[in-house]
A and B are shown apart, each in its own frame.
Chain A
Amino acid sequence: MNIVVLVKQTFDTEEKIIVQGGTVSQDGVKLIVNPYDEYALEEALRLREKHGGTVTAITCGNEQSTEALRTALAMGADEAIRLEIEPGDDSASLAAAIAAVVQPLKPDLLLAGLFAVDTGSGSVALQVAERLGLPHASAVVKLEVNGSTLIADRDVEGDTATVEVPLPALVTAQQGLNEPRYPSLPGIMKAKRKPLRVVSRIELGPDAAAPATQRLSVETVPPRAAGKRLGGGTPAELAAQLAKLLHEEAKVL
């Protein structure tokens, strides 16, 4: 099986966000592989272990995002491609560029995270699927490949839908799909010798679309202030006090 995984480098989810000069500050921030993309990557490796084939990890990002690809290679991906990012890129321009890189690879399966924990749109992978004419199964929590079909359990707002989709297809990974492995030391050593290719946007030529959205500003959200602390009573008194406040002061009932 020829599997392509889309990977994005993101901030660690415990990072605070600081905006300086209209952009999000990267200073001293811990960068990770987007957690949902890690599930996608892990699933790709498991499928390759079962069915054979190759796993190619693709990211779109700056020089620094090579680290995310090295992590993917250390976990076990066979090769990696870094697609250069352009200022002003949005989901439309990224999807066009990624589709142009993925198409010649002719994957049997395209895997991606359900969304990235930074921008959170969950848009790029599905736009890639649309451009390549691939069906998809999204928010997948269990995946099996059976010949030319995939069978997936999807999380649909808490319910579970089991679907069958023909390959080649896109699958987006939801939490619960698997428990991603940590890169092993030999894996990290081997990763250094695995092929990692950089593709410039100019190479892609006319397939690349222009961005269709424009960011005007980014602002942090002021933190909430702490309110009233109820204390100094029995549990029954505290519960009665809280219920009264929610009913009469906060008016949420």
Chain B
Amino acid sequence: MSINCLVYAECKDGKLRRVALEALGAARQLAADSGAVHALLAGADSTALAEAAAELASRGAAVVHIADDAALRDGAPEAVQAAIAAAIAAARPDAVLLGHTALGREVAPRVAAAIGAGHAADVTAIVTTGDGGDVVFARPLYAGKAVERLRIAPGAPMVISVRPNNLPPAETLPAGAAPGAVSALAYSAPTLWTTVRSVVRKTTGAVDLAEADIIVSGGRGVRSSDGFAPLQELASLLGGAVGASRGACDAGYCDYALQIGQTGKVVTPQLYIACGISGAIQHLAGMSGSRVIVAVNKDPDAPIFGVADYGVVGDLFDIVPLLTGEFRRILGAS
């Protein structure tokens, strides 16, 4: 069985998001040898779109459809949804894939309802048997305390939103292979419901938590909003993001947007450094999928040590700045 796929390749600030390449990788897996892989880019910056299209075409998208329209500038979900609908009409896919990002989370369900598809949301693994068998999607339940395996009902179209940082990105085609074609999509903007009045960037230059490779996270132990400063310094040095526990958010030390846990965000970075976080079950659910976990806490009995690969009993205000210094030395030397 081969599955024809359409990938909505999301861009941020004109650049392809990594999760778009992960969705493309998943599409190539589903399409196997005989399915078609199409990709869709939607935006209003022709130069950036052309660059992104070249990258998608070099990584296995047979056709890259470009919707280039002023209506797509602000990321109004209905404008993006209309672009996906136009690309579905052009590509006639069995499966639509996209990242489970802020935009993907609001668009995927609507696309699924519009085309009568099954929606597999926040997918972390895909298993194809390759001999005409089912495609099985794995996704977390209870923020990762359990895993559900599901399939799409036979004959139903699929909408698959993939969790960032979990699936391998599509690889570049071997040397000599012909890249895919790029094609302008016939797009007419729908009546726009959403007027975007303003966007306040609080995360300028910072990495999105869901896509971050390294997260430095603070709990009640940071004691104040200023207490996040050493964590921010370490995160900046490592090119990572700052997160927080519910305790720190409830105490008003930081914005709820930083919260990691069953309420809040679920993250799966390469390295998670928990500073002054005790490790309530609902927090552990949100970060236990990290590859390497470090815990720094004054309380030797804190439950966070039960999941940490490396635990340091000590005061985060002593340890974290010293750790930053050590990393600066290591990174400078290498």
In the bound complex, residues from chain A placing their C-beta under 8 Å from that of B121 are 91, 120-123
User: Is the beta-carbon distance between A243 and B101 smaller than 8 angstroms?
Assistant: no
Q: Give the total of B residues in contact with A, Cβ under 8 Å.
A: 96
A129 to B77, CA, bound (A): 13
Q: Which of B179-187, B216-224, B288-296 contacts A (4 or more CB under 8 A)?
A: B288-296
In the bound complex, residues from chain B placing their C-beta under 8 Å from that of A169 are 193
User: Is the beta-carbon distance between B197 and A227 smaller than 8 angstroms?
Assistant: no
Known contacts A138-B105, A175-B263, A235-B318; A215 and B77 CB within 8 A of each other: no
Query: Which of B105, B206, B319 sits near A238, CB closer than 8 Å?
Result: B319
Answer yes or no: B267 CB below 8 A from chain A CBs: no
Interface string of A1-43 (1 = CB under 8 A from B): 0000000000101111101000010000000000110000000
User: Is the beta-carbon distance between A120 and B281 smaller than 8 angstroms?
Assistant: no
User: Is the beta-carbon distance between A24 and B146 smaller than 8 angstroms?
Assistant: yes
User: Is the beta-carbon distance between B330 and A123 smaller than 8 angstroms?
Assistant: no
B306 CB, min distance to chain A CBs, angstroms: 5
Q: Is the interface of A mostly helix, strand, loop or mixed?
A: mixed
Within 8 A of B (CB), among A80-109: 90-92, 95
A249 to B5, CA, bound (A): 40
In the bound complex, residues from chain A placing their C-beta under 8 Å from that of B153 are 210-214
User: Is the beta-carbon distance between A239 and B142 smaller than 8 angstroms?
Assistant: no
Within 8 A of A (CB), among B199-222: 199-203, 206, 208-210, 214
A165 to B308, CA, bound (A): 45
User: Is the beta-carbon distance between B141 and A227 smaller than 8 angstroms?
Assistant: no
User: Is the beta-carbon distance between A121 and B327 smaller than 8 angstroms?
Assistant: no
Answer yes or no: A236 CB below 8 A from chain B CBs: yes
User: Is the beta-carbon distance between B109 and A126 smaller than 8 angstroms?
Assistant: yes
B315 CB, min distance to chain A CBs, angstroms: 7
A243 to B140, CA, bound (A): 31
In the bound complex, residues from chain B placing their C-beta under 8 Å from that of A220 are 145-147
Q: Which residue of A lies closest to B145 (CB)?
A: A17
User: Is the beta-carbon distance between B196 and A161 smaller than 8 angstroms?
Assistant: yes
Q: Which residue of A lies closest to B318 (CB)?
A: A235
User: Is the beta-carbon distance between A158 and B209 smaller than 8 angstroms?
Assistant: yes
Please list 25 pairs of residues, one from A and one from B, whose beta carbons are closer than 8 Å in the complex, sorted by A's number. Answer: A11-B142, A14-B282, A91-B109, A92-B116, A121-B109, A121-B139, A122-B105, A122-B109, A126-B106, A135-B193, A138-B105, A157-B102, A158-B255, A163-B195, A174-B256, A175-B259, A176-B257, A210-B153, A213-B118, A213-B151, A221-B146, A224-B293, A228-B310, A239-B322, A253-B238
Besides the contacts A158-B203, A226-B305, A240-B326, what 7 more A-B pairs have beta carbons closer than 8 Å?
Answer: A92-B116, A156-B199, A157-B208, A221-B144, A230-B311, A239-B323, A250-B310
